């Protein structure tokens, strides 16, 4: 064991000795993975957390790394099987069982898919699988963790990014995801709604399409219909969320709006719209109970694509994110914008699926050339489809 990793292990031992005692959330066992401890050690070696940004700037850009955490919709039965051989991954799932009250590993490995796809299950499943993938990456390439300069997560993946960056502890983050998923599941069951992935063209007018879909809903007796862009993925590609009647209208009239392809997503509700307003307050309350810290590396918010600045900023925007569009395209530009000729960092997608890699390729081809995926399935098990 290197001196650096040994110091990280001691930092983790200190972190479970009573710190953050204000939370009533179940805690992971002392041996559970704490990649944030390795980050703490890396910043200490560079002269302290206040100098971390300057230290990152001194590294060659090509030596730095960025971690991307996937969101709901990436779940697949079997995820996690390719991670169990790595140290402490089973302990992560044991800790998850205590927080959730059911065997998440069994559900992730054996399904059925219909149960895994439920919001209340898939959000915690993707969260834990992503952090288990970080443990795999830490085991195989520890320098990637030490040289990480930025992280971002898609929707629920933002919680995993924040746990990775040390802004909240694993069990606290998972408990927040549990409450979020339950509240979003309940909100989605109140109204028949969903999400539609739309690949458009330059002449596609998403705003007009959504307004006309809303007017159509009114003719069908739906009061206060919702139909709006909920995810900005890459140029000319959006996800539209809202009432099912509105989404069906858009699919039937796709040629009118110059949509090249539409596809319903495997989610249970119209997420990231005002249909999720009932889910905001439960999440606000649980976030108040969590001792949120300033991230050790830059974590970018889905709400505006910018870096989180302080703990209260995190608590505010995580709640706002539930009813706001995910500005992923804007986030990719914020992370990878650089002067011409400057090398791009290594990018690792940690978690099920490769959709964030596909999006990165469409947003920034040069950045994508340094992209890798940390596999969570066994070899030959990946059912990945193009976005």
CA-wise closest residue to 229 among 328, 152, 158, 317 = 328
Sheet-wide strand order for 148-153: 298-300, 148-153, 65-69, 346-350, 371-374
Please count the other Cβ atoms lying within 10 Å of the Cβ belonging to residue 13: 13
Distances (CA, A) of 139 to 38, 87, 135, 171, 350: 12, 8, 6, 21, 13
Among this protein's residues, is 22 annotated catalytic?
no
Q: Which residues contact 371 (CB under 8 A, 6 or more apart)?
A: 347, 348, 349, 357, 360, 361
Distances (CA, A) of 9 to 36, 48, 87, 134: 10, 18, 13, 16
The whole-angstrom separation of Cα 62 and Cα 338 is 12
Instruction: At 313, list the tokens.
Output: 């900023």
Q: How far is CA 332 from the centre of its chain?
A: 14
Among this protein's residues, is 121 annotated catalytic?
no
State the DSSP H helix or E strand holding residue 233, giving kind and residue range, or none if neither. strand 227-234
Residue 276 near residue 322 (C-beta atoms within 8 A): yes
- Catalytic residue among 272, 301, 324, 370, which? 272
φ, ψ (nearest 5 deg) of residue 45:
-65, -25
Give me the sign of the Cα torsion angle 267, 152, 387, 201: positive
CA-wise closest residue to 295 among 125, 132, 130, 160 = 160
Residues 173-210, buried b or exposed e (16+ Cβ, 10 A)?
A: bbbbbbbbbbbbbebbeeeebbbbbbbbeeebebeebb
The whole-angstrom separation of Cα 111 and Cα 155 is 23
- Catalytic residue among 155, 171, 204, 324, which? 155
Q: ∠ at Cα 125 (123, 127), nearest 5°? A: 70
The whole-angstrom separation of Cα 337 and Cα 163 is 25
Residues belonging to the active site: 155, 272
């Amino acid at each position: 064991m290197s001196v650096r990793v040994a110091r990280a292990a001691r930092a983790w031992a200190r972190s479970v000795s009573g710190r953050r005692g204000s939370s009533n959330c179940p805690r992971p066992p002392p041996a559970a993975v704490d990649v944030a401890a390795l980050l703490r050690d890396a910043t200490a070696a560079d002269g302290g957390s206040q100098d971390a940004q300057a230290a990152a700037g001194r590294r060659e850009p090509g030596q730095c790394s960025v971690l991307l955490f996937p969101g709901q919709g990436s779940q697949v039965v079997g995820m996690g099987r390719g991670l169990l051989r790595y140290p402490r991954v089973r302990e992560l799932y044991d800790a998850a069982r205590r927080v959730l009250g059911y065997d998440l590993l069994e559900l992730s490995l054996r399904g059925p898919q219909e149960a895994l796809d439920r919001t209340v299950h898939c959000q915690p499943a993707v969260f834990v699988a992503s952090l288990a993938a970080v443990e795999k990456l830490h085991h195989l390439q520890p320098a990637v963790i030490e040289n990480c300069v930025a992280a971002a997560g898609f929707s629920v993946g933002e919680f995993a990014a924040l746990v990775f960056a040390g802004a909240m502890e694993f069990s606290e983050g998972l408990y927040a995801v549990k409450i979020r998923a339950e509240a979003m599941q309940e909100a989605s069951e109140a109204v028949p709604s969903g999400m539609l992935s739309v690949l458009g063209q330059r002449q596609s007018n998403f705003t007009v399409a959504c307004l006309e879909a809303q007017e159509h809903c009114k003719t069908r007796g739906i009061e206060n219909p919702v139909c709006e862009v909920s995810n900005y993925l890459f140029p000319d590609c959006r996800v539209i969320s809202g009432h099912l009647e509105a989404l069906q209208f858009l699919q039937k009239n796709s040629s009118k709006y110059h949509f090249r392809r539409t596809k319903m997503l495997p989610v249970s509700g119209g997420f990231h719209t005002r249909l999720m307003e009932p889910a905001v307050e439960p999440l606000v309350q649980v976030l108040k109970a969590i001792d949120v810290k300033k991230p050790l590396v830059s974590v970018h918010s889905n709400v505006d694509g910018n870096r989180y600045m302080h703990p209260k900023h995190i608590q505010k925007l995580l709640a706002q994110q539930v009813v706001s569009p995910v500005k992923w395209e804007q986030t990719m530009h914020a992370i990878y914008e650089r002067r011409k000729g400057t090398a791009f960092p290594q990018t690792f997608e940690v978690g099920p699926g490769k959709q964030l890699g596909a999006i990165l390729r469409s947003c920034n081809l040069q950045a994508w050339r340094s992209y890798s995926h940390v596999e969570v399935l066994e070899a030959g098990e990946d059912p990945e489809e193009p976005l």
